[in-house]
């Protein structure tokens, strides 16, 4: 087992290298350069621009730039005063030593700090989505399989797919307007509520001083964004579980179990469900981490202050250090997610041997 993990970790190294290379190339292909973006200001003179270009190292050939970004330049002399002569030790440690530079937009802030400020919010939302998505999805899947071809099966199939087929930003906006304005204003004359939003129309915490209250005190802020973004996972899980269940209960050993006289419910739960759920574990890890970066739209609609929104803002304001730090960190988390999933699968499924 340890050898398996060690081997997988070693295999991750070239992937990691590939990720840094791809993200660096993508940024490099961007037309326009960071210098003119940073200095769109008539009070900045041309010589200052040139000095900045040299300090940022954008005039170096690509491999040098990439290496300075990757492993830092504190081991080499660099040109700081734009005279073409290397004159001082560099002061970047490189991303391998977790130095992602400083944000262009939030000058003085390291991208890591900006990302860590947002991580809690993202994890919160993702856990909620995972919990709602998997539990509801599995439940619907099992029931759909049990009542195959009956009304519930057909109804759940259509409903799950429908929720997944609406553009999520539109659905989110409709939900905000419905629960914030339409429903309360309709209920008020009936003597229910006072016409104020039934659920918060956005944000993660009540706008009061003293920091964010613990999560149980603000679960209602989580309801709309978590429900809207759960629709996709619910559709996916329920179809997956339904198929796995059907596949399992049609298999030989379940027939054997029946033949041995076990009750139908016992067979379903003991054998069917267990075997159907094992493959789910494979998807959990990657899903968890890909959600981190993929929630941009939900976070934007509901102003959920997660890393997705940070990345979006960084893209809009050409904050390259933050963009690249986010991409690299999301990717590393994704690799770890895949790794965890493989290990989990190996542990759960006795048929896999090392």
Site for another protein in 163-182 (CB under 8 A): 164-170, 173, 176-177, 180-181
CB 169 to another protein: min, Å: 4
Selected from 3, 260, 265, 351, the binder of another protein by CB under 8 A is 351
DSSP 89: E
The CA-atom distances, in angstroms, between 354 and each of 170, 274, 343, 347 are 47, 22, 11, 11
Which of 53, 54, 95, 121 forms a contact with another protein (CB under 8 A)? 121
Q: Using CB under 8 A, which of the segments 71-79, 80-88, 130-138, 292-300 binds another protein?
A: 292-300
Q: Which residues pair with 88 in a beta bridge?
A: 78
The yes or no reply on residue 95 touching another protein (CB under 8 A) is no
Among 6, 26, 88, 219, binds another protein (CB under 8 A): 26
Q: By CB under 8 A, tell whether 297 contacts another protein.
A: yes
In the window 252-281, what residues touch another protein (CB under 8 A)?
A: 252, 279
* Termini Cα distance of the chain: 7
Cβ–Cβ under 8 Å, residues 229 and 125: yes
In angstroms, give the least distance from the CB of 42 to another protein. 5
> Residues 317, 340, 343, 344: which binds another protein (CB under 8 A)?
317
Token match 């999560």: residue?
Answer: 215
Spell 17-45 as b/e; 16+ CB within 10 A means b.
Answer: eebbeebbeebeeeeeebbeebbeeeeee
Q: Does 123 bind another protein (CB under 8 A)?
A: no
C-beta of 35: minimal distance to another protein in Å?
10
**CA 129, CA 291: separation in Å to the nearest integer?**
9
Q: For residue 88, what is the DSSP state?
A: E
- How far apart (Å, rounded) are the C-alpha atoms in residues 175 and 201? 9
Cβ 41 to another protein, closest distance in Å?
6
Restricting to residues 203-242, name those near another protein by CB under 8 A. 203-212, 220, 235, 239
If one asks whether residue 83 binds another protein (CB under 8 A), the answer comes out as no
């Amino acid at each position: 087992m340890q050898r398996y993990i060690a081997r997988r970790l070693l295999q991750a190294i070239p992937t990691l290298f590939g990720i840094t290379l791809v993200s660096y190339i993508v940024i490099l292909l961007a037309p326009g350069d960071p210098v003119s973006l940073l200095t769109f200001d008539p009070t900045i003179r041309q010589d200052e621009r040139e000095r900045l270009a040299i300090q940022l190292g954008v005039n170096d050939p690509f491999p040098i730039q990439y290496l300075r970004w990757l492993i830092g330049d504190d081991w080499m002399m660099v040109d700081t005063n734009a005279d073409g002569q290397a004159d001082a030790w560099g002061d970047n440690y490189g991303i391998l030593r977790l130095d992602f530079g400083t944000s262009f937009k939030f000058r003085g802030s390291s991208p890591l700090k900006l990302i860590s400020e947002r991580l809690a919010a993202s994890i919160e939302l993702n856990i909620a989505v995972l919990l709602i998505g998997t539990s509801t999805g599995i439940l619907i899947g099992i029931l759909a399989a049990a009542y195959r071809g009956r009304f519930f099966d057909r109804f759940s199939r259509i409903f799950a797919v429908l929720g997944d087929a609406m553009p999520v930003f539109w659905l989110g906006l409709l939900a905000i307007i419905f629960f914030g304005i339409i429903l309360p204003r309709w209920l008020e004359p009936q003597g229910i509520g006072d016409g104020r939003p039934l659920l918060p129309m956005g944000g993660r915490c009540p706008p009061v001083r003293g920091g964010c209250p613990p999560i149980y005190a603000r679960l209602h802020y989580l309801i709309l964004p978590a429900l809207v973004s759960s629709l996709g996972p619910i559709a996916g899980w329920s179809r997956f579980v339904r198929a796995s269940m059907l596949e399992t209960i049609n298999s030989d050993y379940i027939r054997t179990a029946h033949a041995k006289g076990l009750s139908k419910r016992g067979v379903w739960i003991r054998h069917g469900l267990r075997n159907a759920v094992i493959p789910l574990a494979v998807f959990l890890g990657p899903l968890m981490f890909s959600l981190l970066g993929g929630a941009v739209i939900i976070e934007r609609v509901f102003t959920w202050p997660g890393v997705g929104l940070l990345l979006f803002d960084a893209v809009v304001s050409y904050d390259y250090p933050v963009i690249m730090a986010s991409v690299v960190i999301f990717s590393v988390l994704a690799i770890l997610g895949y790794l965890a999933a493989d290990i989990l699968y190996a542990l759960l499924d006795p048929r896999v041997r090392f």
